[in-house]
Amino acid sequence: MKKFYYLLASIAIVLVTMIACEKASIELDETQAVQDEVLLAKADKATICHYDDGLDEYGSFENDPQWVTIDISVNALEAHRKHGDKYDWDGDGYYPENECGIGEDLGYDCNDDIAEINPDAIEVCDGIDNNCNGEVDEDLTYSFAGTHVFHYFIGTTNYPHRFEFGEIDEFGKFTILGYYPVDTPLPPHDGIILNGIIDEFGKFSTTNGYSSTWNLYGTFSECDGFVLDSPWSTTPWF
């Protein structure tokens, strides 16, 4: 009989524990649901700089026209966009300049149609102010020195060559340290030094010192680097 009471007591403890756990679980679910609701409510809202024309719903004068910061449902965004209200329309995280000062601390988006253009973008050489600092293609430096491959022709045969350029000096002069055929049957030309100059327009030219017919022409700029007029098709001297 004693064993029977022990068994009953054990079952009771298990049941009480299960009910308590279930209750705690329900309370936890309810708390989560409330939190989800709060998050959802936040996610459904958008902060915009809205132009209040000062008229009431009947078209009567109510107050002076003004720009005001308001929270709206995301469902109403398109309607506000048509009215010219300010918002981060391209979704890059930055607002365009606005009378309400929204997003001023992050820096304004200078192009709110293109997400790739914003204050956090990296400036690249494309004629556009990518990072919205008011300067176009700033601080881009390309070294003139290095290897450049370009092509010339003997008849209709293309002979790509690899040219090694030295740096440009303060007078715009540079040196071609060597040039070599790239996968062609022509022999290499190691050790040949060429000189050239870049004029005030960024045009460069070289001569080999053996023939006045052998000039290279192209353009160098800090942004674009080395661009050869192409195809180069003057007659080689060798």
* 222 makes contact with Ca ion (CB under 5 A): no
What's the min distance (Å) between Cβ of 27 and Ca ion? 42
Residue 133 contacts Ca ion per CB under 5 A: yes
> Residue holding tokens 């996968």?
183
Residue 208 burial (10 A CB sphere; 0-12, 13-18, 19+): buried
Cβ contact 48:87 at 8 Å: yes
85 binds Ca ion, rule: CB under 5 A: no
Per CB under 5 A, which region of 2-10, 22-30, 103-111, 192-200 contacts Ca ion? 103-111
Is 206 near Ca ion (CB under 5 A)?
no
The answer to the question of residue 94 lying near Ca ion (CB under 5 A) is yes
Residues contacting Ca ion: total by CB under 5 A: 18
- Rounded to whole angstroms, the Cα distance separating 28 from 123 reads 49
Phi, psi of 113 (to 5 degrees): -105, -20
87 binds Ca ion (CB under 5 A): no
- With CB under 5 A as the contact rule, the residue among 50, 85, 86, 92 that binds Ca ion is 92
Residue 227 exposure: Cα atoms within 13 Å on the Cβ side = 9
Counting contacts by CB under 5 A, is residue 131 touching Ca ion? Answer: yes
Binding string to Ca ion for residues 16 to 55, with x set by CB under 5 A, is what?
A: ----------------------------------------
| Residue 220, number of CB atoms within 10 A of its CB | 19
Q: φ and ψ at 37, to 5 degrees? A: -60, -40
* Gyration radius of the chain's alpha carbons: 36
Shortest Å distance, C-beta 208 to Ca ion: 37
Residue ranges binding Ca ion (CB under 5 A): 88, 90, 92, 94, 109, 111-112, 117-118, 123, 126, 128-131, 133, 135, 137
